[in-house]
Structure 1
Amino acid sequence: MTTLADKAVRRWFITGASGGMGSRLTEHALRHGDHVTATVRPTEAEALNGLRETYGDRLTVESLDLTRPADIDTVISRTLQSGPVDIVVNNAGYALMGAAEEMTAEQIRDQIEVLLLAPMLITRAFLKPMRKQGGGRIIQMSGAGGQMAMPAQSAYHAGRWGLEGFTESVGGEVADFDIRLTLIEPGAMRTGFNSAMRYTTETGAYRTNAVGQIRGFMQNPDPSIFTGDPAKVAAAIYDTTRDPNPPLRLALGADGLHLMHNALTERLAALEAQKDLAASVAFTD
């Protein structure tokens, strides 16, 4: 029986494909003979015209506002009417930068809707059809920000950490159906992600502390920190969809791996230091 890992031609559903990692992955899949439904923001409907001219009807472009759940359902339903989807990539995202105190409720809601709620709804919508067709792959774009946290990005980390927990839990629910979920943990890549950052209105209290320092760095980053090659990252993601036993998490970038390793090591050390205290609260009878 032909499995997804060795299926000759597969269908992808990729969000946030107007640029950056999404467009690179879309192009890589098309170049390898697959079919792709790529979603873009309504304001960027023509972003993939060049790929459409090259690959014709193997590329379908859908306008999608990820903050509108009804629109998500409509686009996925239309996509599935054209045939089964083998690989889903929840790629769309951005980072809100600023102190938690500075964030408006609307800014927080939008960040969580894009980074967490939309991927949850999209993942959920594809589980039943994937189960019925005998398997599938769901790729979640996360990052070091899903394993560690720094000041000035609290809403971003909330979305990424939430996606990590959701993905690990769902992965255990559907493994028996050969539906595999993988969190991609890239380092800093030359995709223009920083240019898509959104900022809170700065207040004086945070201008000179860690929030202000990180905000300033992100607004004028050192180009040399962006060591990740998006083409190589796209190739690695593509390759993992051919792996019959893909990892739950895939670190792509020595910088991201270093940050996550340090954060996890510190968390483990802090946990070990509480071992005696943790045991001391048990009943003594």
Structure 2
Amino acid sequence: MHKVWFITGIGRGLGRQLAEQLLHLGHSVFGTARSRTDVQDLIASYPESLMVEQLDLANDASRFPAVVEAAATKFGAIDIFVNNAGYGLFGAAESIEEGHLRRQLEVNLVAPMLLTKYALAHMRPRGKGTIVAISSYGGQATHPGASVYHASKWGLEGYFEALSKELGFFGLRVLIVEPGSARTSFRSAAADHLSITLPGYDQTPLASLGSELRDPSRSPIGNPEKIAAAIIKATDDPTSSLRLVLGSDAYTNIASALSDRLAEVEGQRSTAPSTDFA
């Protein structure tokens, strides 16, 4: 069945893979990209079923309502709304500049919240559709040197999990996608955004973070084509769970983090009630 997809960040990586596969399958795509130049080939190949709006999620928030309106007007409806655009900001928490911190949260968290808010005005009255949030296993598990990135993804997951409990009453569904590492430009871009290692961190895991991100032998195991195909398939399955874990590394990291967290909570079963009123 033909559907209309709205996808942020189709210029490269997973967003590009999603757009290519969906267009090949005959769906319509309204995509955003920081530069239309990155997708000129797709625009030329699919002039009727693809529309691309140049959009910077960190600086163009005032345009969000108009962009969502343009998508609904162009194709008549929005069936699947995918919050995909994002990047990784790594480095010691105390070394990350305030402006960079705020941009990370604007792109990875605030923009998806605002864009979804405006999309719901079109989707909720129809009583059907899916909101997709591309998170990461980093939305459940953490690593040193990624504090701000994790903050954006944990916030994303909290928002969309709560949203799922609101939208179920209207027939809309939320899908939180938690991929593992993937062979996209994410790692190289993260290396470019890496903050300077401060004195005192020389003997910590953060000292080697830059070299690890740039090390070609540490090739991610995730296949972007398979990840995109799995997301498309999941949106067609009404019985699919709230979260979609993709990648063996994602499963291992999330399972370990949740097990440790649950064990810590269980260890306080007897002491937690001590603050209740008698």
TM-score (norm 2): 0.95
d(CA) in 2 for partners of 1:162 and 1:222? 32
User: Match of 1:105?
Assistant: 98
- 2:200 corresponds to 1:205: yes
For 1:156, the equivalent position in structure 2 comes to 149
CA distance in 1, matches of 2:170, 2:154: 25
Shift of 1:237: 0.5
- Alignment match, 2:73: 81
Indicate conservation of the 8 Å contact 1:146/1:157, yes or no. Answer: yes
**1:119-138 superposed matches below 5 A:** 119-138=112-131
CA distance in 2, matches of 1:186, 1:206: 29
Work out whether 1:51 is the aligned partner of 2:42: yes
Determine the C-alpha separation between the residues in 2 that align with 1:190 and 1:75. Answer: 30
Distance across 2 between alignment mates of 1:74 and 1:202 = 41
Please identify, of 202-211 and 157-166, the stretch whose mean Cα deviation from structure 2 is larger.
202-211
Which residue identity does 1:181 align to in structure 2?
A: V
SS in 2 for 1:46: helix
Cα deviation, residue 45, structure 1: 1.6
Distance (Å, rounded) in 2 between the aligned partners of 1:72 and 1:99: 32
**Secondary structure of the corresponding residue to residue 81 of structure 2:** strand
Separation of aligned partners in 1, 2:213 and 2:200: 19
Q: Distance in 2 between matches of 1:18 and 1:138?
A: 20
The more displaced of 183-192 and 71-80 is: 71-80
Contiguous gaps of at least 5 residues in structure 2: none
Q: Which residue, 56, 61, 72 being the options, matches 2:64? A: 72
Q: Is it true that 1:268 corresponds to 2:262 in the alignment?
A: yes
Q: CA deviation at 1:219?
A: 3.0
Which amino acid in the other structure matches residue 218 of structure 1? L
| Cα deviation code 1:113-145 (max 9, x no counterpart) | 001000000111111211111211111110110
Percent identity over the alignment is: 39
Q: Superposed, which structure 2 residues align to 1:24-39 within 5 Å?
A: 24-39=17-32
Counterpart position of 1:215: 210
Deviation at 1:57, TM superposition (A): 1.5
* Structure 2 counterpart of 1:5: none
Which has the larger displacement, 172-181 or 214-223? 214-223
Q: Could you say which residue in structure 1 is the equivalent of 2:52?
A: 61
8 Å CA contact retained: 1:152, 1:215: no
Q: CA deviation at 1:259?
A: 0.2
Distance 1:196 1:267, change over 3 A: same
Find the aligned partners of 1:203 and 1:223 in 2 and give their Cα distance: 24
76-85 or 259-268, larger mean C-alpha shift: 76-85
Structure 1 SS opposite 2:30: strand
Distance in 1, Cα, partners of 2:200 & 2:10: 38
In the alignment, the residues of structure 2 paired with residue 19 and residue 223 of structure 1 have an alpha-carbon distance, to the nearest angstrom, of 21
Q: State the alpha-carbon separation in 2 of the partners of residues 215 and 271 from structure 1.
A: 34
What letter matches 1:32 in structure 2? L
Q: How many residues align?
A: 274
Aligned counterpart, 1:3: none
CA distance in 2, matches of 1:173, 1:32: 31
